[in-house]
A and B are shown apart, each in its own frame.
Chain A
Amino acid sequence: MSDAHHDHKPTGIGRWLFSTNHKDIGTMYLWFSLTMLFVGGTMALIIRAELFQPGLQIVEPEFFNQMTTLHGLIMVFGVIMPAFVGLANWQVPMMIGAPDMALPRMNNWSFWLLPTAFSMLVASLIMSIMGMGSAPNFGWTFYAPLSTTFAPASTDYFIFSVHLLGISSVMGALNIIATIMNMRAPGMTYMKMPIFVWTWFITAYLLIAVMPVLAAAVTMMLTDRNFGTSFFSAAGGGDPLLFQHVFWFFGHPEVYIMILPAFGVVSQIIPTFARKKLFGYTSMVYATASIAFLSFIVWAHHMVTTGMPVAAELFFMYATMLIAIPTGVKVFNWVSTMWRGSLTFETPMLFAIAFVVLFTIGGFTGLMLAIAPADFQYQDTYFVVAHFHYVLVTGSLFTIMAAVYYWIPKWTGNMYDEKLGKVHFWLTCISANVLFFPMHFVGLAGMPRRIPDYSIQFTEFNQMASIGAFVFGFSQLLFLYIVIKAIKGGNKATTEVWEGAEGLEFTLPSPAPFHSFTTPPQVK
């Protein structure tokens, strides 16, 4: 532990406010994400409580719409994205043999913009609860003109906060690219990078490409609302469909921004617990790159019912179906990595296996949604809600939890409580399926999304989903407890942590020193 006295950690609140350290900033990202998970989760529970039975029982339709909107925005921009940035902050320097991120002050700024942005967004909800106007109520996709001409005054808060989030994401992405390009240990060529680093490298390019597009969309909203322009107003010669094209040109790469790092995490965890190298490393890299490329040419599959020319519908259908190929390659590679391995089932592995199965189910429904004539029936129903919760909750969120269990011994120096970890896994995995699987059925039977009340034939499945939701939500308190317990103490972790673990981060002592690698390791 001779490194310890080099750790000139500032003390008190200054350590966090002015931090330029990748680990401290990573920690802040992860705590921020977990906090927002409980905020956004509470909103989801209000939604599920209202939908427990037909009729209105708890909230007015107006407030219900604010809940669905903020739930979506918070989970996408406040939970999944910051959690992956937090993981990148912690892991990328350690995995490539660097002392820290390339741009540490920008790292600080990109984090601190996040709480600023979300304070503003959540402030609009607090004002709404206090009876001063309405919070954003137009869905997380904020289609114009509902979000422009017909939107509440708080929309300008929302626009400003989206701008800040965009700046934060772009800076975070630049930092990751600069770090990966410049700070790899001697001998670590691109094709020797750990797959998590690869997936984040590609994700960072997606962020830089599409966050400015989102900024353009909200800027046009801002001028439409306040400065008399008519980008999205048909009455002024504008085009409400333009909004959807711009939004989904951002939005589809955005969904891959939320899943590619998840692929990376799973590709680290499965080989460790299978005690076998990742099958098809090269094809994994190419598959990730192909998915990223395809994500730019499929955006209008979100828009089949908008009355596009049939040629465009066909193009976007075919392009979307192609995504099944690289995604399939990934799934086959994970299964082949497990095949004839020597498997053990610690909590990270359990989450990773659940990810492969449940994400694949989300992928299957994704393929079904790609089929345009059937998508006319699926569009805007609970079938879609089921699909994207399978990929985002049992997909992305599961891998974030897997990653925390996998690396927390390295971060804290302590093993987490394995028994509680397994209890948390089984509660989470079962309740998530009770919550989201019935949504396929009500969606196919004709229940539209974003409605506060429904016809009686949908009652039973909605009740199942609501029960699943409450179990799922409260199970995450156990996760919080397990994390705190591991930070406070527990069995000491070894340098290698896991028997089958490979990678530079597992050559550092546990807990890892404040400045990771002060002398670069040699990679052969």
Chain B
Amino acid sequence: MSAIIRYAGCLCLMLASSPLFAAYQLDMSPGVTSFSQGAYEIHQYVMWICVAIGVVVFGAMAYSIIFHRKSKGAVAAKFDDNVTVEILWTIIPIFILVSMAIPATNVLLEMEDTSKSDMSIKVTGYQWKWHYEYLDEDISFFSNISTPEAASLATNASVPKDENYLMEVDNRVVIPANKKVRFLFTSNDVIHAWWIPAFGVKKDALPGFINEAWARVAEPGVYRGKCAELCGMNHGFMPIVVEVKSEADYAAWVGEQKAAKSALAASATKTWTMAELMKHGEKVYTTNCVACHQVSGEGIPAAGFPALKGGAIATGDAAKHIDIVLKGSPGTAMQAFGAQLNDADLAALITYERNAWGNNTGDTVQPSDIKSAR
């Protein structure tokens, strides 16, 4: 019954865009940048022109269908050509098209003008996460979906389906308000596309290429988007979250990031207990590994993702295990995590894989082991 009411709600919205049903978005978002607003206006303009043409054309058809039917005694006319109307309906559309092309060109030129930016962030697509590098600050981090369990039939049910379902990440990209931020896109593996609807920015991240886009956002807030180019199994599970902060808040955030970085450096030199390694390792595993090797450690062998539970590598020689995690396995989906994770994360992760799911090798791997193996 409630479903029926909700459909009725959708229907009302189709007839009159009532703010009461704002949850059901029917149209493109006007967005928060100058060119997203421009794209929205052209979208509206072209759509309404199409509606108007549709009313005329379909109206003429409907008139024929109603009044020129044989059952009403209609007798077919004899005409089958008229050069004047043929010329007219070739020429008039040209003018309509020109009226669309002019504003479209202006918006496009503005959109693609990445010059005179205030700061640059390099965005790298990975299967299936984003990496952000602030080129003017010494800040870089990965951004993963915060509910990786959503990506599997077995574990999906445990994930709450709230308003940000599939739209939340562990590390948000933070940018300052009122600054022209230039984004540079590339990819580590396949093609991804970085899309924030509210910015009107969608750009492919291509391996071997650097693409550019920009945004200047006045209002602080949180803006969400998704990967828009099919990039493999978990394409649907690599969201993007951008947080726009006021300039003062942004400066504070930069400070925090730098402090966290020096704390991390300290953790790499200490010796960890087994319990600490396992606890941290599970977290690292959940963020980076479950997409392929699954929460259960059983992998998806049919799709080429081997099991770690009882697997030859996770229960065999530790040095080999460290090596494959650090350097990846060429020609497969196994990435080189040496470039993505720090020594402490890797030590904890490998310890976890060697002892979880009944592997129980008893081995502990310390950050110093990773450092010497690199």
Residues of A within 8 A of B (CB): 54-62, 65, 128, 131-134, 137-139, 143, 145-146, 149-150, 152, 234-235, 238-241, 274-283, 305-307, 310, 313-314, 317-318, 321-322, 324-325, 328-329, 331-332, 335-345, 353, 356-357, 360-361, 364, 367-368, 371-374, 376-377, 379-381, 441, 444-446, 448-457, 460-461, 463-464
Contacts and interface: CB of A to CB of B under 8 A. Distances in A.
Contacts of B60: 335, 339
B82 to A, nearest CB: 8
A336 B61 CA distance: 8
B68 A324 contact: no
B22 to A, nearest CB: 10
Given A61-B236, A317-B104, A329-B90, A456 B161 contact: yes
Interface in B174-190: 185, 189-190
Given A376-B39, A448-B227, A146 B81 contact: no
B169 to A, nearest CB: 13
A372 to B, nearest CB: 5
A364 B47 CA distance: 8
B206 interface: yes
B127 to A, nearest CB: 8
Contact of B202 (A281, A317, A379, A450): A379
Contact of A344 (B69, B163, B166, B191): B69
B224 to A, nearest CB: 9
A146 B232 contact: yes
Interface string B56-75: 01101100110011110011
B157 to A, nearest CB: 7
B153 A56 contact: yes
Given A56-B152, A139-B230, A318-B101, A446 B29 contact: yes
Nearest to A331: B57
Given A55-B161, A340-B76, A376-B111, A452 B197 contact: no
Contacts of B197: 377, 446
Contacts of A371: 42-43, 46, 100, 104
A54 to B, nearest CB: 6
B16 interface: no
Contact of A373 (B85, B108, B208): B108
A453 B150 contact: yes
Contacts of B236: 61, 448, 450-454
A150 B76 contact: no
A374 B6 contact: no
28 contacts: A56-B153, A60-B300, A61-B236, A65-B230, A137-B232, A150-B190, A152-B303, A238-B208, A280-B86, A281-B81, A283-B86, A305-B229, A340-B77, A341-B76, A342-B74, A344-B70, A364-B53, A367-B50, A371-B100, A372-B104, A373-B200, A376-B202, A379-B228, A380-B229, A445-B26, A446-B226, A451-B236, A456-B161
A209 B250 CA distance: 56
A485 B156 CA distance: 47
Contacts of A307: 185, 203-204, 206, 209, 211-212
A448 B195 contact: yes
A449 B235 CA distance: 10
Nearest to A138: B230
Contact of A360 (B57, B97, B151, B231): B57
Contacts of B163: 455-457
Most buried by B among A278, A377, A450, A457: A377
Contacts of A145: 189-191, 207
Given A306-B206, A339-B64, A275 B70 contact: yes
Contacts of B64: 335, 338-341, 343
A87 to B, nearest CB: 25
Contacts of A62: 233, 300, 303
A343 B304 contact: no
Interface in B231-253: 231-237
A84 B328 CA distance: 48
B73 to A, nearest CB: 9
A399 B164 CA distance: 42
Interface string B22-51: 011111110000011011101100110010
B331 interface: yes
A439 to B, nearest CB: 12
A343 B77 CA distance: 11
Given A60-B152, A65-B232, A276-B80, 17 more contacts: A56-B153, A240-B207, A282-B81, A307-B185, A307-B212, A321-B101, A329-B89, A329-B90, A336-B85, A338-B64, A340-B77, A343-B69, A364-B54, A371-B46, A376-B111, A377-B36, A381-B228
Contacts of A282: 81
Q: In the complex, which of the residues B23, B112, B300 has the most CB atoms of chain A within 10 Å of its own CB atom? A: B112
B284 interface: no
B260 interface: no
Given A340-B68, A377-B28, A356 B61 contact: yes
Given A139-B230, A368-B46, A453-B166, A373 B104 contact: yes
Nearest to B229: A380
A358 B266 CA distance: 65
A466 to B, nearest CB: 12
Contact of A310 (B97, B112, B165): B112
Nearest to B211: A307
Given A139-B230, A150-B333, A324 B97 contact: yes
Contacts of A54: 161, 165-166
A143 B237 CA distance: 19
Given A339-B64, A340-B68, A325 B228 contact: no
Contacts of B78: 276
Contacts of B347: none
Cβ-closest 3 pairs across A and B: A234-B208, A451-B236, A307-B211
B268 interface: no
Nearest to A451: B236
Contacts of B159: 55
B54 A360 contact: yes
A55 B206 CA distance: 29
B39 A133 contact: no
Contacts of B42: 371, 373-374
A146 B105 contact: no
B191 A380 contact: no
Nearest to A361: B54
A314 to B, nearest CB: 6
B10 interface: yes
Given A54-B165, A146-B231, A457 B65 contact: no
A240 B231 CA distance: 13
A441 B21 CA distance: 14
A101 B94 CA distance: 41
A343 B212 contact: no
A377 B31 CA distance: 11
B357 interface: no
Contacts of B290: none
B339 interface: no
